[in-house]
Amino acid sequence: MADAKFSSPNEEVRNRPIGVFDSGIGGLTVLREIWKALPNESTIYFGDNGRAPYGTKSHDTIVQYSVQNMHFLLSQNVKMIVIACSSAGAHAHEEVRRHSGVPVIEVISPGAEQAVRETRNGRIGIIATRATVGSGLYREEVLAAANRLTAAGERREELAALSIEQVACPLFVSLAEEGYWNSPATRMIAEDYLSGLRDSGVDVLVLGCTHYPLLKEVISDVMGPGTRLIDSGASVAGRIKKTLIDSELDRSAADPPCHCFFTSDDPEMFEHRAAPFLGGGRPSGTRYVTTDKFV
Ligand code: DGL
């Protein structure tokens, strides 16, 4: 999953925003890590709330939506695209990368790599949407990361015989979107989804959907203290930073960066739901857009 390299882009290109999209509010868990790691970068976030969830859709539909979102972000003059949605990354990363003409960052490989680095018993759990689990990409990326570490001389025994267990948790997306982050209903559903993984002794659990960090508290309680949760937001932000610097695309302007939001559903509702994530209060000026005309 290599990213395009650009030779010495001019100042105008460097000062363009980073475009980020997700099916809804889940990608904000990635956006806040981008803000933390790259405080001088401007961002444009698109939440496709009107067409969410993606994780229950077919491959072709996810590709179509993702490519439309890409065209919308390019129309906003972005210098990079972050697919802050595992379902979209699992199905459409290659397509978006091929057609965008700017570097594209996805969220699956950073999480897979972090899981391999952090496991001590070689038992890795992955929870994600049906579309992501069905794609098999997390498994591939975990095995690829283990091979890379082994080739780099990390002779940890557990890397030779990894066990990877994946569970699809589709209801978590609606619970996160609806603000049921720590309710008894969420606990009951989490117990049902996760008890098998807990009993199998996984010591790391990848939150393989960008909505799931919202339910972290419940997931952690159900899994117990022996399982470390992997929220790849910070590793994704690290990869973005490295790509920007390597491609000489990091923002050089001294004036404060701008942060814009777009949603394909009600902006008022989007801002209400987004507020708890973004620390500094409720975002404002969110605009409505449907990306289906962007082809
Ligand atoms: N946040 C998304 C993901 O990472 C979206 C889930 C969905 O829309 O089903 O997969």
The pLDDT tens digits of the residues spanning 165-177 come to 999 999 999 999 8
Backbone dihedral angles phi then psi of residue 182, each to the nearest 5 degrees:
-150, 50
Q: Tell whether 243 is covered by a domain.
A: yes
Q: Tell whether 43 is covered by a domain.
A: yes
Residues 88 and 124 placed together within one structural domain of the fold: no
Q: Tell whether 45 is covered by a domain.
A: yes
pLDDT band at 1, cuts 50/70/90?
A: very low
Ligand 1 pocket residue status of 53, Cβ below 6 Å? yes
Ligand 1 pocket residue status of 135, Cβ below 6 Å? no
Residue type, position 142, single letter = V
Range in 5-9, 31-35, 218-222 with the lowest mean pLDDT:
5-9
Domain-terminating residue out of 231, 265, 280: 231
pLDDT band at 227, cuts 50/70/90?
A: very high
Cα–Cα distance, 204 to 226 (Å, whole number): 8
State the closest ligand 1 atom to the C-alpha of 170, by its place in the atom list counted from 1: 9
Residue 213's pLDDT is what? 93
Residues 59 and 119 placed together within one structural domain of the fold: no
Ligand 1 pocket residue status of 66, Cβ below 6 Å? no
Q: Tell whether 149 is covered by a domain.
A: yes
What's the chain's average pLDDT? 93
Retrieve residue 82's tokens: 């972050």
Residues 139 and 207 placed together within one structural domain of the fold: yes
pLDDT band at 280, cuts 50/70/90?
A: low
Ligand 1 pocket residue status of 209, Cβ below 6 Å? yes
Q: Which residue among 87, 130, 230, 264 is best mutated to probe the pocket of ligand 1, counting the most ligand atoms within 8 A of its Cβ? A: 87
Residues 138 and 221 placed together within one structural domain of the fold: yes
Q: Which H/E stretch holds residue 160? A: helix 157-160
Residues 227 and 243 placed together within one structural domain of the fold: no
Burial grade of 269 (CB within 10 A; 0-12, 13-18, 19 or more): middle
Range in 8-12, 68-72, 104-108 with the lowest mean pLDDT:
8-12
Residue 34 structural domain: 11-106+234-288
Q: Which long-range contacts (CB under 8 A, 24 or more apart) does 182-187 make?
A: 182/215, 182/217, 182/218, 186/215, 186/218, 187/218, 187/221, 187/222
Picking from 30, 31, 206, 227, the residue whose alpha carbon sits closest to that of residue 112 is 206
Q: Tell whether 293 is covered by a domain.
A: no
Residue 171's pLDDT is what? 96
3-state secondary structure of 114: helix
Q: Tell whether 259 is covered by a domain.
A: yes
pLDDT band at 73, cuts 50/70/90?
A: very high
Residues 90 and 122 placed together within one structural domain of the fold: no
Catalytic annotation, residues = 85, 209
Instruction: Please state the domain count of the chain.
Output: 2
Residues 212 and 261 placed together within one structural domain of the fold: no
Residues 23 and 95 placed together within one structural domain of the fold: yes
| CATH number (domain holding residue 282) | 3.40.50.1860
Ligand 1 pocket residue status of 54, Cβ below 6 Å? yes
How many angstroms is it from 151 CA to the middle of ligand 1? 33
Residues 141 and 238 placed together within one structural domain of the fold: no
How many angstroms is it from 89 CA to the middle of ligand 1? 10
Domain-terminating residue out of 187, 209, 231: 231
Q: Tell whether 153 is covered by a domain.
A: yes
pLDDT band at 282, cuts 50/70/90?
A: confident
Q: Does residue 263 carry a pLDDT above 90?
A: yes
Q: Which tens digit of pLDDT belongs to each residue from 170-225?
A: 999 999 988 899 999 999 999 999 999 999 999 999 999 999 999 999 999 999 99
Residue 179's pLDDT is what? 87
Mean pLDDT throughout 124-139?
97
Q: Tell whether 67 is covered by a domain.
A: yes
Ligand 1 pocket residue status of 49, Cβ below 6 Å? no
Residues 95 and 157 placed together within one structural domain of the fold: no
Which one is predicted more confidently, 11 or 37?
37
Q: Which H/E stretch holds residue 220? A: helix 216-223
Residues 169 and 196 placed together within one structural domain of the fold: yes
Residue 2's pLDDT is what? 42
How many angstroms is it from 111 CA to the middle of ligand 1? 15
**What is this structure's pTM?**
0.93
Residues 164 and 23 placed together within one structural domain of the fold: no
Domain-terminating residue out of 210, 231, 252: 231
